[in-house]
Amino acid sequence: MVSDLPSTNDLMIRPLTYRDVEVVEQRLCHEGIHDQGFGLPSLGNGWMTSPLHLLQWLTGMSKQRIYVAERDNQVLGVVQVAPFNENRTTWQVQQLAAQEFTEVGTQLLRHCFSTLVEARTWIVEINIDHREALDLYRQNGFQPLAHLTYWQISVDQLTELAQGTPSLPNLLKVTNADARLLHELDTMSMPALVRQVFNRHYRDFQTGLLDWLQHGLASWSQQVQVHRAYVFEPQRKVAIASYALHTTKDGYTPHWLDLTVHPAYTHLYPEILTHIAQLVQSYPAVPLLLSSTDYQGEREAYLERWAKPIRRTLMMSRSVWHKVREVRSPLPEGLTLSEVLQGLPTHRRPQPGQINTQKGAQAYYHEHSSEKTSPPKAQS
């Protein structure tokens, strides 16, 4: 439950307008409490001054929503949120900055909860060292979901990894036709609670025409090239690993990697990273960034030998329901409740409550059955 706060009736919360851009970037964005993810545009990094993002925002192409808190014509806070999945049931708080942190921050979050009614679940990622931010989100109903570690592989380590010979015979390029395979892999790679919060559909792994244009413009403006591939297991006809490698060409921005591996095929980690190390050799020599979660212990154990941890965060979630629905069935896998009931043995036949009713039913049955089986009488 959210604790009682001082009255903020004079605080007005409204969508961001163009006249707020300079104030938001110059005065508030250095106070933002969220460390931006790989490749995610930040309000503090010239988000609105970038021609591409400004065009997306003015034409309504951007999926992000930005709200500002204003009092007496002075901007006191800003929040940036965006849908996390295609069907927009889960939304993510990407950035939050406020001068009166607890009061204004809470009002901004409450405004998002009440305005974006399509969101059933909210998620947020906070640096574990930012205690004030953790307290703010706990007060607003967020609960811990998973721990994340961000790793950096140096240029020398990438060069050493590239000397190996990866064994990936069924490495295929990703297309929209592979969306169901990638969705199944994503489903199998995370616990049931995280899977329910993310609520992804196979459409989340497809690239529409509008998304393709946006990604193309972003790659051109930011000098980023994306490589997507997955490892196919022909016997089971499933994807057992996939990656999206974002390589940079400016010479100072690190490459970043999104990697998903089936829990039963963790031996692919060194094979895939060797392949990735060979890919980045044709680009400027910069480090490689990637992340891992606490429910993927094998990946963290492997990365500890090669990579350097540069950030540790806590992913939190907030459901609009009173409690999260349980997604695991209490029945054994493959069984339904009707099958279980049919298989239960009965020790004796059920007895009716009244004997007279039973006798009456038996008499009625014998009377009608004798009428059906008796031969017809001959006519005189």
Which domains occur in the chain, in start order?
1-141 (3.40.630.30), 148-328 (3.40.630.30)
Rounded mean pLDDT, 324-335 = 45
Q: Is the pLDDT of residue 214 over 80?
A: no
> What confidence category does residue 367 fall into, taking pLDDT thresholds of 50, 70 and 90?
low
Q: Which amino acid is at 300?
A: E
The residue among 188, 181, 172, 238 whose CA lies nearest residue 205 is 181
Which of the pair, 32 or 179, is modelled with greater confidence? 179
**How wide is the angle at C-alpha 182 spanned by C-alphas 181 and 187, nearest 5°?**
100
**CA torsion angle for 28, 31, 37, 40 (degrees, to 10)?**
10
Sort strands 65-71 and 255-261 into parallel, antiparallel or unpaired.
unpaired
Look at residue 372 in the predicted model and tell me its pLDDT.
Answer: 47
3-state secondary structure of 59: helix
> What confidence category does residue 2 fall into, taking pLDDT thresholds of 50, 70 and 90?
very low
Question: Over the stretch 20-55, which tens digit does the pLDDT of each residue have?
Answer: 887 887 766 666 777 766 554 445 444 454 554 555
> What confidence category does residue 88 fall into, taking pLDDT thresholds of 50, 70 and 90?
very high
Q: Is the pLDDT of residue 81 over 90?
A: yes
Looking at the DSSP bridge assignments, the partners of residue 144 are 316
Angstrom distance (rounded) from CA 268 to CA 271: 5
Sort strands 308-319 and 121-127 into parallel, antiparallel or unpaired.
antiparallel
Rounded mean pLDDT, 187-211 = 89
Look at residue 223 in the predicted model and tell me its pLDDT.
Answer: 76
CB 206 within 8 A of CB 218: no
Where does the chain have alpha helices with state H? 21-23, 51-59, 101-115, 131-139, 155-161, 179-188, 192-198, 209-222, 268-279, 297-306, 337-343, 355-373
CB 315 within 8 A of CB 125: yes
> What confidence category does residue 103 fall into, taking pLDDT thresholds of 50, 70 and 90?
very high
Half-sphere exposure of residue 319, counting CA atoms within 13 Å on the CB side? 14
Q: Which two tokens stand for residue 85?
A: 């999945």
Look at residue 54 in the predicted model and tell me its pLDDT.
Answer: 57
Q: Which two tokens stand for residue 107?
A: 């009002």
Which of the pair, 121 or 54, is modelled with greater confidence? 121
Question: Over the stretch 128-170, which tens digit does the pLDDT of each residue have?
Answer: 999 999 999 999 999 999 999 999 999 999 999 999 999 998 9
Question: Over the stretch 254-308, which tens digit does the pLDDT of each residue have?
Answer: 999 999 999 999 999 999 999 999 999 999 999 999 999 988 888 888 999 889 9
For the entire predicted model, the pTM comes to 0.76
Looking at the DSSP bridge assignments, the partners of residue 71 are 74
**How wide is the angle at C-alpha 298 spanned by C-alphas 295 and 303, nearest 5°?**
110
Look at residue 4 in the predicted model and tell me its pLDDT.
Answer: 42
CA distances for 209 relative to 206, 214, 215, 229, angstroms: 10, 9, 10, 20
The pLDDT mean for the chain works out to 80
CB 244 within 8 A of CB 39: no
Neighbours of 257 (CB within 10 A): 23
The residue among 320, 325, 318 whose CA lies nearest residue 138 is 318
Q: Which two tokens stand for residue 225?
A: 């090239």
